[in-house]
């Protein structure tokens, strides 16, 4: 019974998220961003940075929230969602370790977009590991990885994340 309720809630959440994307992208395309709220305009910026997924943003057939197969392993909606999560973290300066990594990457020549992608990669990694272990999100682990990656060379970051995943055995 609870499982059905969770499935329905997930579908509803996906539906609302995709409808927001569809609406905001439509406003961008029709040059009506001045009618959007500040939060919607911030989200519009993320969508415009990912214009290569516009065919997904415009796909009216997926607005019902069903599982979505983009035809590959990559899900543009998950990507946009994690992008927004990182933007929210940076805006709130929480966790501060995300902001520190962002600054460190900027100092090494990363653009805003590239730095957000690195932080999102770490966030998705921790979310995935938690899901695999059926554990709650491990904020302490996320912060540790952010700190470790801040001190590393950019070329070492993926290796740090892979090592963390391979050494992970159970919930902490």
Contacts of 133 (CB under 8 A, 6+ apart): 168, 170, 171
Locate 67 and state its tokens: 């599982």
pTM: 0.86
- Give the model's pLDDT for residue 72: 60
Query: Nearest to residue 63, comparing CAs of 50, 80, 77?
Result: 77
- Give the model's pLDDT for residue 27: 97
- What is the chain's pLDDT, residue by residue, as a tens digit (172 residues)? 568 888 889 889 988 999 999 999 999 999 999 999 999 999 999 999 999 999 989 988 887 777 776 666 578 888 999 999 999 999 999 999 999 999 999 999 999 999 999 999 999 989 988 887 778 888 999 999 999 999 999 999 999 988 887 776 666 5
- Give the model's pLDDT for residue 73: 59
Query: Nearest to residue 116, comparing CAs of 135, 131, 103?
Result: 103
């Amino acid at each position: 019974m609870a499982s059905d309720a969770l499935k329905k809630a997930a579908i509803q959440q996906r539906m609302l998220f995709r409808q927001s994307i569809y609406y905001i992208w439509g406003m961008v395309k029709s040059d009506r961003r001045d009618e959007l709220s500040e939060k919607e305009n911030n989200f519009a910026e993320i969508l415009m940075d990912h214009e290569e997924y516009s065919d997904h943003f415009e796909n009216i057939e997926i607005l019902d929230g069903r599982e979505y197969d983009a035809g590959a392993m990559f899900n543009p909606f998950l990507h946009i969602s994690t992008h927004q999560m990182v933007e929210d973290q940076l805006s709130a300066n929480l966790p501060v370790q995300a902001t520190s990594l962002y600054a460190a990457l900027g100092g090494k020549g990363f653009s805003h977009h590239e730095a957000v992608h690195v932080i999102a990669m770490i966030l998705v990694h921790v979310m995935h590991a938690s899901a695999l272990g059926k554990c709650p999100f491990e904020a302490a682990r996320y912060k540790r990885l952010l700190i470790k990656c801040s001190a590393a060379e950019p070329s070492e970051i993926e290796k740090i994340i892979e090592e963390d995943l391979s050494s992970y055995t159970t919930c902490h």
